[in-house]
Amino acid sequence: MTVFLYVVILLFSATIHEVAHGYVAYLRGDDTAKMAGRITLNPIPHIELFGTILLPAMLLFLKAPVLLGWAKPVPLNYRNLKDPRKDIPLICLAGPASNIFLVFLSGLGMHIVKYFPNFELRHNRLIGHSLYIMIVINVILAVINLIPVPPFDGSKIITYFLPEKIATRYLNLNPYICLIVLCVILSS
């Protein structure tokens, strides 16, 4: 039951994360995600075959100490943005901010559940456990995504504070850093 809860909550949280990126991009002038049908709470359009299904399933099967996965990033067209230099960090910050918001809502939910003494105890425990998992997963998602290393959102946020030439070089390291980060995570 716990593995099922983790998978469902991770999929829900990753969906909210990606919708937040797409919605902020839409607010800043880029309707690419909206036109692609990606500003939706339906998790299916956000599923990426390898990152959302195959890798997590393989890690579960191998009883890996870490469950790793990701959702399909929302499509963006930076040329449609009002001010790309300022808008890109806002769009990237929206995902982790949505995870922090889910942590807050889950904590509030845990607090509220305590005030329903007539609520059947086993349901109360299941809800409490689900909210706890929601907090853990979303704290992890927020923290990992704020790491200023490509491909995480933090790498694009930090470029706002770097001179444009250095920011471009930094983002060009993406393929190499992704491989190094993946090796470090899998070797843990």
Sequence-ordered alpha helix ranges (H) in 28-120: 32-35, 55-61, 84-113
| Burial (CB count within 10 angstroms: exposed 0-12, middle 13-18, buried 19+), residue 25 | buried
Say if CB 134 and CB 88 are below 8 A apart.
no
**Contacts by 53-59, CB closer than 8 A, 24 or more apart:** 56/7, 56/10
User: Per the residue annotation, which of 18, 48, 120, 164 is the catalytic one?
Assistant: 18
Is 18 an active-site residue? Answer: yes
Distances 33 to 7, 22, 77, 88 between C-alpha atoms, Å? 24, 5, 9, 14
Catalytic residues: 18
